[in-house]
Every structure is written in structure tokens, then in C-alpha cells.
Homo-oligomer: A and B are copies of this chain.
Amino acid sequence: MDKEMMTAKILEAKSTKGMTWEALASAIGLSPVFTTSACFGSNSMTEDKAMAVCETLGLDKEVADALQDCPYKSWDWSVPQDPLIYRFYEVTGVYGDTLKALIHEKFGDGIMSAIDFTMAVDKEENPAGDRVVVTMSGKFLPYKKW
């Protein structure tokens, strides 16, 4: 079973059970972002977590196997069009030099890892309009000088 069919089966079961991503993540003991991304085929799970997804959603072992496969990560654009995703691209464009300057100032020459990386999405209630809070945490990787 490939990742695409895996995602389709998970979405169908999730919809039938009326389960949210938050609830699924909580049931298997992982974060919502990681759980969702693995179910969309962008990350791989360990065997026990993959089995837990299938038990929670009532899916069979083939789905669990697919969840453990190393994914081929790709996306359908170089510049995204969906407005929600585009805004993150715009933030990268507008604040790219700023991120670079501040990370170099605080850490020296290197980058924030996108591999040893976690992310959370939270809702902050606010009378002037609720806010989406996205927190990224990536290990600082200094450039090796050899």
C-alpha cells in the first residue's frame, strides 16, 4: 500500500469515527503536528505508534506498514497558491533576512535544523480576534569547519 492510499484510508476512518487530529494524537501519545504529518505521508512512524493509529481507527496492518515507510517528501508547487499555506511562504520571504541575522547573532554561523525539528499549532483566545500561534523548535547546527 502506498502513502496516498494510506492517507485516504485514514481520512475515511477518521471521518467515520468523527475523530479530530488532536484526539488521534492524544490517543497514540504523539504531538498533533507529527501525527497529522505522518498520516498525510510526510513523516514515518515507529511500529508501535503505527499500530496504535490502526487500533484507534480500526484499520488493518497494511496501513500500519505504510505508516512506517520512509516517505518521499514533495509538494505540488514552488510558490504555494492556497492562501493559508502562501502566508507561511510570505513570512519566509519577508522575514528571511531577519531570521538569518538574528539566528547568526544568537548562535553563530549555522542553521536551524528542519530534521531534528518539532512544531506546535495553538489557539490563543483574544477579544480582538483569536490568534494562531505556531512554535517551531529546531536544533542549531553549526557549519563544520574542517
Chain A residues with CB under 8 Å of chain B are: 20-22, 30-34, 36-37, 40, 42-46, 49, 70-119, 121, 123-124, 126, 128-146
**Residues of A contacting B: mostly:** mixed
- Chain B proximity of A124: nearest CB distance (Å): 7
CA distance in complex: A109, B50 (Å): 15
Say whether A98 contacts B138, CB under 8 Å.
no
Q: Which of B42, B83, B109, B111 contacts A97 (CB 8 A)?
A: B42
Q: Measured between alpha carbons, how far is A103 from B131 in the docked complex, in Å? A: 10
Closest to A44 in B: B109
Residue from the list B70, B114, B146 in contact with A118, Cβ < 8 A: B146
Known: A36-B98, A75-B81, A84-B103. A144 touches B115 (CB 8 A): yes
Whether A138 contacts B132 by the Cβ 8 Å rule is: yes
Nearest B residue to A135, CB-CB: B135
B37 touches A95 (CB 8 A): yes
A146 in contact with B30 given A107-B132, A137-B124 (CB within 8 Å): yes
B85 engages A92 (CB within 8 Å): yes
Cross-interface CB contact of A37 among B42, B85, B94, B134, cutoff 8 Å: B94
27 contacts between A and B (CB under 8 A): A21-B105, A22-B102, A33-B102, A44-B109, A44-B145, A46-B145, A70-B100, A70-B108, A70-B109, A72-B100, A73-B94, A79-B79, A81-B90, A84-B100, A85-B96, A91-B136, A94-B114, A102-B121, A106-B123, A112-B134, A115-B144, A116-B142, A117-B144, A128-B139, A129-B140, A133-B136, A134-B137
